[in-house]
Each structure stands twice: as structure tokens, then as C-alpha cells.
Structure 1
Amino acid sequence: MNPIRYERRRYTTGQTPIEKLERLSQALGGPTISIKRDDQLGLTVGGNKTRKLEYLVADALKQGADTLITCGAVQSNHCRLTLAAAVRDGLKCQLVLTEPATGYEPQASGNHLLFHLLGAEKIEVIPADGDMQPVMEKLAQELASEGRKAYLIPVGGSNEIGTLGYMACAEEIEQQAWETGTPYDYVVTASGSAGTQAGLVAGFLARHSSTQVIGVNVSRDRTTQEAKVLDLLRSTAEMIGLQSEIGAELISCEDRYVGPGYAIPTEEMVEAVKLVAQTEGILLDPVYTGKAMAGLIGMIREGRFAKEDHVLFLHTGGSPALYTVPELFIPKES
């Protein structure tokens, strides 16, 4: 038996809640919609990367690392949570960030503010089209020359070890469905670095569940994203010895709500964020959950789901990004 699924830190007490979105379901006139509140996971401000980090940091500590190095965009939720996990476990953390198209603003709010508040040891900013991996490796080499040991975590924490976090989440969803007598026909989630979607699919496979996972892309076309998720699903299944047929039919990604590109706002995203806030009092974010909810709303409006279906929307967090784009949500004075 491979023990890796049991080697885990615990940053959250208990399960994250599942709430029925009755007013949103009524407004859309479609299936029954519920929401899995992974925005309430442990670590600073919550979010889906916490689940991945429970396994990644456990592996880092097992290897004797004293510093976590990771990468992402200037407003990366993953970087914020990796830094928070390092603080929790007494480790140092260094970040490699890509400069946004609008240019790097050293005084930026949102997650960038939290990087400084949480005490990142070093922040390296590179061009938007730069390769982050060699920069992380260079930082690791510099630490090694000082007698320190770094542990590198990829974008979004999405490798085989990080993906175990969403295998565990699928098992948690199944347990909650059993407890409430409400099985979910579909789980809808934002799909970016692929670990969340691949982990959910693997977890439902391991439980022999018929729940279907639909990813709403935040950065890539359907073909590219589905291949990325499938590759990670297969390598994760191989690592843990999951005895199931892993075919392309298990992966479903929707790419019509990406818009012009990653983190670039769309009208559908703005509508979705406002609708959920004003029907349910829940904050989504403009990069991931806003576009994922836009995808869910669009699929409901086009009749993708039956009226009797139960759809679970996975809230992957990210609300600090809202405060970086107030112009999208505050009405302009006439």
C-alpha cells in the first residue's frame, strides 16, 4: 500500500459546509443548486489550495525542507495560501510572481498586500511571459549554498501530491451527500491548473460514484484543458494505484466563459458575481469562481441540466481579488 494518501497536515477543522442556494435556484429556474464552501477552508482567507497544501507541506516536512518556494500571478490565491501554510508550520516562503499586462504595482492591494503582511521572505517578479520554473530552481540553489533546503511547489499546487487534496474532498462530498440523502448529479468547478478537477474525478472514481465533474476553464481552450486534466488524473491514479479505467470521457471542460484570457474580466462574470451576492450574500471572485459561476448560469439557461438534477458548485475562494477591481462593481456616477 502506498501510504501517501495518509500523510497529511490538517489546516481545517471538520468539513466545509454545503449550503442550498434556494434563491439563486429560483432566480435561474433550473436545477437545485448547492454550494460547497471551500472558501471557508483553513489558512488565511481560505480557498481550494488549502486542501492541496495539506499533502504538499506534509511531503515538504517529510523531506526536511525549511523553505517553500512557489509561483503564480501577482494576485495568486495559491501563493497567499502557500505562504500562510509556511507561517503555520514555521517554514520560510519565497514567491516567484509574473508581472500583469498592466505592469507591476508594488503597492497593489488584494493578495499582493497579504504576501507582505504574512511575511514572504523574498518576492521575485518576472515578465508575464517568463518561465517561472528556472527562477524557482535558482532560488532553491541559492538556499542550498546557505545550507538550507527548499521544497518547490508548482503553479496552483497541481501535481500528483497536491491533487490528493481533492480526492479527499470528493470523499467528503460523498459523505455529506449520504448524511443528507442528497446525491449530487454534477459538481461544477473552476478549472485552471487542473489539480482540483483531476482530484475530484479521481476521488469519485475511487468511491464508485456516478457524480459527473464539469470544469469551467479560466485560461485555456477546451482541448488543451481537457488534455491537461486527463494527464494529471492518469499520473495521480498511477501514483496511488487506483484500479479504474481512465478514459477521456471522464473529463468535461467548458471553455466559452474564459473571455479574452486569464484574469481578464467578462460581462458574464460580473453578472454572475452580482447575482450570487444579491441572491445569496456570498462573495465570488473575478478570476475563478466568477467565471465558473458564469459557466454554470450559462449552462442552466441553455438547458444543460434537468429540472430535477442536483448541481453542486465548488466555491474555490479568491475573494481578496474583488478588492483590486472595484470599478467593475461600483456604479459610475452619471
Structure 2
Amino acid sequence: MAELVATMVVGPLLSIVKEKASGYLLDQYKVMEGMEQQHRILKRKLLAILDVVADAEQAASHREGAKAWLEEVKRVAYEANEIFDEFKYEALRREAKKNGHYSKLGFEVVKLFPTHNRFAFRDKMGKKLCSIVQAIEVLVAEMNAFGFKYQQQVPASMQWRQTDPVIFDPKKIISRSRDQDTSNIVDILLGQVSNESLMVVPIVGIGGLGKTTLAQLIYNEPEIQKHFELLIWVCVSDNFDVDSLAKKIAEAASPNKGQVQDVLSGRRFLLVLDDVWNRESDKWEKLKARLTHGAKGSVVLTTTRDEGVAKIMGTVKAYNLAPLEDNFIQEIIETRAFRLQKDEERPVVLVNMVGEIVKR
């Protein structure tokens, strides 16, 4: 069982790599020019592995070969993750250069985007990508040899449900762990009822800290649901095209799909812009101009990893999200690792590992 716990992260890790490999910025700034074929192969093979990873994880508890295969998948996925981070940083460098932001970004840009040659970058990254594609192709061949089969994933909403009273409910853990943060931001949003100007509240934190989860908790608070006439959720990610975003907002707000200005006009709204990366202030100002037609007390709540984005967008001080407290992390790990096991059924060696995993 220890080995199974160790391999549980493979599926989510592969999903992260798949998302990074499909990033909008990679295509927009042509950072993978000359590597298109390898790029397509990699995305296709990742999907093939994701299809069978659930079956492989089940097999790992009693098949040494499956366990070793999953460990290799995890190793390759970590390498691929780092490579696509390098591609994304190169895309951001080109974006900053194109928009004349090098001088505005100041000393930080020197750290983030050291001087380099495009051709040297392509040569270096081309070799890295080919190496990863070759490793993935070997894994797919082995996957077929093992005979792993596609298993339909249990819907996320079902995964939350636990019927055994001994087991913690992960949804309740998350809600409790962010209870104070939720209360703090709800108070900020509700306190703007007479504010004539559109307020923008950024939630800032590193990846995986729970920014989106916190925004969801706030969005679903009964006080928020009652206070705002219109609630809209839009995931932004890499694509900050003003016209496209305005259209998405309008469509999310109204089935009639009118202009965003008309949809918001005279209504007190809460708009969540989740996962914003864009640092182009002129784009934000153009979108913001279309959002200023709501009633008094309207708010935009945004989540971002980038403090620079928060400064560009925010009209109030950003809410910096702190890591979860250790006791909540421990509850979450135990819930996911031990599932339906009662206390007396939990292997002592694994129980003793939890504290070390929490620290890491």
C-alpha cells in the first residue's frame, strides 16, 4: 500500500503537464517553432497515458512492474513539467519585449529573463523536448505491453462523498481550513454596497495554494448569493483577449448573449476572473471600461500567482493567501490516503509517514 500512496500523484501531475503543453502563450509567441511535430506527439501520448493511469495505479498494489512503470511516468512527468515552464518563461519574455515592458519591469526582468539567443534556445529546448518524447514513447509501448485498460474516472462530485462517519469529508476540511479567509473577503465585498466605482480584489498566491477553491467558497456563500444580483465566473488563464473575454462574460451572465455592457448595466454583480496571468495594463483597462456599467457595489474578484498582475488590476490591497496550517494538510492527506479504512486498519508505517509528508 505504501507504494500505491507514493504513486497517487501521477494522474494529477500528468494533467498539469497536459495543460501546460496546450498553453495559449506557447502558440501565440511561437516558442516551439521547429518542434511542432514533437509537440503534437507529446500531447497525443500524454492523453493515451492519462486514459489508463487509473488502471495502472490499481495494478501497482500487486504488480511490481506496474509500480515501476508508474514511478518512471512520474519521473518523466516532472521533467516535462520543468521543460514547459521554460517554454512559458520564454513566451513571457517575448511578450514583454513585444509590448515594450522590459524597461517597466526593471531589475526583476533581468532575473526572470536572462540574456540569451533565440537560436540557442531553440537548439537547447529542441534536444530536451526530443528526449522527453522518446521517453514518453517508451512508456506508451510498455503501457500497451502491460495491457492497462481505460477506466472511466469517478466524477469529482462523487469523490467527495464518504459514507463512513470515521472518515473526514475533504470538502468540509477545505471549507474549515479557509473559513477565516472566506470571512475576511466576504466582509470586504459586502462592505462596498455604496461604492460608485468598480472594486477589484486580487487573491494572490503560489500555484496549488487554493486560490480558486477560496474563490469558489466565497462565490457560494449564502450572503454573497443574496447580496449580488448577478454572479459570473470566468476562467482566464493564458488567453487575455479583450473581445473574447467580454464575450465569455456576457455569455456566462445571460443566455441571450448580448453585449457585456448591456448585460451588466444597472445590476450589482460579482465577477470572478480566475487564474489571470496577463501583465498588459492597457488590455485590462479596455476590459475594465466595459465592466463599469454595473450598479453601485459591483466587484471583480480575481485570482493570480503574479503580484505584478495584482498591482495592475487591483483597486484595493491584494489578499495574499497563506499556506494551509499543518493540521488541515494532515487531515487531507489522511483522508485521501486511507479512504474508508478505520483507525485500527491503518498500517502503522503509513500513519507514521504522514507527519513527514506534511512537513515536505
Which protein has the larger Cα radius of gyration, Structure 1 or Structure 2?
2
Indicate the structure with greater strand content. 1
What is the TM-score normalised by the length of structure 1?
A: 0.29
Q: Which has the higher helix share?
A: 2
**TM-score in terms of structure 2 length:** 0.27
